[in-house]
């Protein structure tokens, strides 16, 4: 009985040694990249069915292209840039690898002073950078009915913040979708599921660059 017990112990030790060697020899797989989308109704999925919102469609598209990602929806309908700043700490966990910032549309619709919007977006980006998180800033354009002076001041916010903070800029989040009735809900302001698909298709190269930036630390 003692001989058999000793044999079993020797066998277990050999297996344990083999597992240890294998663990050392086998390279660790890449960790999942966690992306948070900090935004308003355009990313929250206003008027859409589950799975149709921007973060969900983006995650699916990235996985189709072979990326190991989780995209979290931190969009709040009606939120302004200042609102996004106020909830930043609890909306975007410190563990997130990368953040897509999509805010400002409601600021423009309400005619908020562009200086206020720029200050809030700048602080959001600065805080995320300080945490070591990679950032993609999704730009917005003011409605033309706000007047040329307002539109010029508002539109300049995003390129200026991106340049100042040294982060990537996607010029206009609604590129190819804005003012296209077939790609928007009946309100003419929020993208429908197909509109979101177009947004994802357009922004995908910029998001893949964001993933590369996050991988580089």
- What φ, ψ does residue 164 adopt, rounded to 5°? -65, -40
Domain ranges of the chain: 30-215
CA distance 18 to 68: 29
The verdict on whether 187 is a catalytic residue reads: yes
Active-site pick, 79, 97, 190, 213: 190
Q: What is the pTM of this model?
A: 0.86
The verdict on whether 68 is a catalytic residue reads: no
Residues 6+ apart with CB under 8 A from 85: 120, 121, 123, 124
CA distance 37 to 27: 31
Residues of the chain with pLDDT under 50: 1-29
Active-site pick, 31, 148, 186, 187: 187
- Tokens representing residue 39 in the block: 């935004």
pLDDT for 217: 73
Active-site pick, 41, 82, 91, 134: 41
The verdict on whether 190 is a catalytic residue reads: yes
Contact criterion met (CB below 8 Å) for 130 and 88 = no
Per CATH, the architecture of 30-215 is what?
A: 3-Layer(aba) Sandwich (3.40)
Q: What tens digit of pLDDT does each residue of 35-73 get?
A: 999 999 999 999 999 999 999 999 999 999 999 999 999
């Amino acid at each position: 009985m003692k001989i058999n017990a000793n044999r079993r112990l020797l066998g277990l030790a050999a297996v344990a040694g083999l597992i240890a060697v294998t663990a050392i020899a086998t390279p660790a797989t890449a960790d999942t990249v966690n992306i948070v989308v900090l935004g308003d109704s355009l990313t929250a999925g206003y008027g859409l069915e589950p799975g149709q919102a921007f973060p969900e469609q983006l995650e699916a598209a990235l996985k189709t292209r072979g990326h190991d990602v989780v995209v979290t929806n931190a969009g709040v309908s009606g939120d302004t840039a200042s609102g996004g700043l106020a909830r930043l700490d609890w909306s975007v966990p410190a563990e997130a690898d990368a953040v897509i910032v999509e805010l400002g549309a409601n600021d423009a619709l309400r005619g908020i002073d562009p200086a206020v919007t720029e200050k809030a977006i700048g602080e959001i980006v600065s805080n995320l950078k300080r945490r070591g998180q990679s950032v993609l800033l999704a730009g917005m354009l003011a409605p033309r009915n706000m007047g040329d002076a307002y539109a010029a001041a508002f539109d300049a916010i995003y390129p200026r913040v991106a340049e100042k903070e040294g982060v990537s800029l996607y010029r206009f989040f609604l590129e190819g979708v804005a003012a296209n009735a077939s790609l928007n809900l009946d309100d003419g302001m929020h993208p429908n599921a197909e509109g979101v698909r177009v947004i994802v298709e357009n922004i995908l190269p910029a998001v893949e660059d964001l993933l590369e930036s996050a991988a580089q630390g």
